[in-house]
Structure 1
Amino acid sequence: MSEPLLPPASRPQHEPRPPHEPLSLLPLRAVRDHPLAPADRSTWPATLPPVRQLLEEGLELGQITVLTGDNGAGKSTLVEAIAGAYGLNPEGGGTGAMHSTRTTESPLVDHLQLVRGAGAAKSGFFLRAETMHSLFTYYEEIGVGGMMHERSHGESFLELVAERSRIRGLWLLDEPESALSISGCLALLGLLRELVANGSQIILSTHSPVLAALPGADLLEVGPWGLRSVAYDDLDLVRTWRSFLDAPQRFLRHLG
């Protein structure tokens, strides 16, 4: 008997959900602990509450999943491991990207079982903030995308997404806002909506309330509780930013 899967998140009643593809056509339907190579629950990263919850309950995925939470909560660990299990380079890029600088990924990738959609696209793309420089260098070396380092980080990032938008499959993005201004985040939202409209699936981790507002997303808040479904207005990320912008001095007076 299979373990229960964590259901997709709830969303505000005023937020219409875009027409998702049938489950059979989603590149990735669910993630769970691999029955033939289960993770040791006593060692990192299985000791992280969200990782442990995924391993024990499984995680069901819709067409758009957004992970939010504090630094160190486990967002990037989950996204990185899912990308690796899907066959994507842990340092970013598509399924054919071969670049590697330094191996830092967790062993979680070896303990995940992916439930794929029958007949779904098998292609994908992984973008992560911390390895973007090496990815740009790799593409320049193989003659793809022009001279990315001659443009600003944000410009290169958005151009890369736009140029690779022909890839229909699973898109994973880990904290892409580090390269972007607010207007850049809004531009990225537009590109992501186009990807979804063309049938791609999105998994995004972010600290940005702008990116967390991606229409139709299943919102999962990551923390000491594990993974929990939260409506946009109730996200700690959103509530904290609103509180700060309303009265910055309430926060700044506590600084040394």
Structure 2
Amino acid sequence: MPLRDYPIRRLTEDPSNVLDRGQWPASLAPVAQVLDQGLDLTPATILVGENGSGKSTLVEAIALAYGLSAEGGSTGARHTTRSTESKLSYHLHLVRNAGTTRRGYFLRAETMHGFFTYLEENPSRTGDIPFHDMSHGESFLELAVDRFRGDGLWVLDEPESALSFQGCLTLLTVLKDLLAAGHSQVIMSTHSPVLAALPGAEILEAGPWGLRPRAWEDLDMVTNMRSFLESPERYLRHL
């Protein structure tokens, strides 16, 4: 097997802690597929799909199984408010590539306000950014630029929720540069055609079928957005 320089090469179910397939989230087809068949990961994996399809559940579980904080941060973050995450991480086994970094960071848009407060109350040795003095999108980007450095596993859950079109392009640049430097891995769930266009990423579409590889130009969110921008009145007539 060739040597790989990114942290996680495969997801499998922990054989000593099998999850009941009738129990959520194993009842979601993409989750069941990962548990039943495993999933090979590339340096960049992007999960797309409708709300409730299971993509964020998988991304969250990977982050937790890696040792990252459920509400965002690195392996050292201890911020927690109300626990809402699934138990999937306890049933996942991450097959790591030998000799790779154990660093990482998890960013999820829905918990950022509380996470910013945690960071301001627990500044790093060099001080920290006044996140609450910025807009939500500005602070999100500032955090990504500041923390996403060097080698690591960079996990993002629907980051476009905080970002403008230009903000998505900026984040795309950060992720592209990390991958180009080598030894890093990006796992992201998104509804954004811009972020899904990350160069070299494998795109997996989540749905009732499970997970299936898709080309960017064939994604429903790409064709639907293109059609809407070309003729919004066709859509608005049917709302």
**Shorter-chain-normalised TM-score: which range?**
over 0.9
**Stretches of 4+ aligned residues off by more than 6 angstroms:** none
Partner of 1:180: 163
Partner of 1:154: 137
What is the alpha-carbon distance in structure 2 between the residues aligned to residue 163 and residue 197 of structure 1?
Answer: 18
Partner of 1:7: none
Please tell me whether the aligned partners of residues 9 and 42 of structure 2 are also in contact (alpha carbons under 8 angstroms): yes
Residues 159-209 of structure 1: CA deviation (Å, up to 9, x unaligned): 111111224211000000011100000000110011112321000110000
Structure 2 regions of 5+ residues with no counterpart? Answer: none
Helix, strand or coil at the partner of 1:228: strand
Please tell me whether the aligned partners of residues 141 and 171 of structure 2 are also in contact (alpha carbons under 8 angstroms): yes
What is the alpha-carbon distance in structure 2 between the residues aligned to residue 91 and residue 27 of structure 1?
Answer: 21
What is the alpha-carbon distance in structure 2 between the residues aligned to residue 23 and residue 73 of structure 1?
Answer: 33
Q: 1:135 aligns with which of 115, 127, 134?
A: 115
Alignment of 1:50-199 (within 5 A): 50-144=30-124, 145-198=128-181, 199=183
Letter in 2 for 1:190: T
Residues 196-246 of structure 1: CA deviation (Å, up to 9, x unaligned): 123210001100000000111101011111100001110111111111112
How many residues align? The count is 234
Q: Report deviation, 1:147.
A: 1.2
Could you say what the CA RMSD is over the residues aligned between the two structures, in angstroms?
1.1
What is the alpha-carbon distance in structure 1 between the residues aligned to residue 50 and residue 202 of structure 2?
Answer: 18
The TM-score with structure 1 as length reference comes to 0.89
Please tell me whether the aligned partners of residues 12 and 37 of structure 2 are also in contact (alpha carbons under 8 angstroms): yes
What is the alpha-carbon distance in structure 2 between the residues aligned to residue 77 and residue 155 of structure 1?
Answer: 26
What is the alpha-carbon distance in structure 1 between the residues aligned to residue 235 and residue 208 of structure 2?
Answer: 23
What is the alpha-carbon distance in structure 2 between the residues aligned to residue 54 and residue 216 of structure 1?
Answer: 22
Between stretches 233-242 and 138-147, larger displacement belongs to 138-147
Letter in 1 for 2:180: A
Please tell me whether the aligned partners of residues 156 and 189 of structure 2 are also in contact (alpha carbons under 8 angstroms): yes
Residues 127-165 of structure 1: CA deviation (Å, up to 9, x unaligned): 001111111111000124221011011111111111112
Helix, strand or coil at the partner of 2:79: coil
Please tell me whether the aligned partners of residues 123 and 167 of structure 1 are also in contact (alpha carbons under 8 angstroms): no
Partner of 2:14: 34
What is the alpha-carbon distance in structure 1 between the residues aligned to residue 26 and residue 65 of structure 2?
Answer: 16
Letter in 2 for 1:53: Q
Structure 1 regions of 5+ residues with no counterpart? Answer: 1-21
The TM-score with structure 2 as length reference comes to 0.95
Helix, strand or coil at the partner of 1:240: helix
Letter in 1 for 2:111: T
Please tell me whether the aligned partners of residues 6 and 97 of structure 2 are also in contact (alpha carbons under 8 angstroms): yes
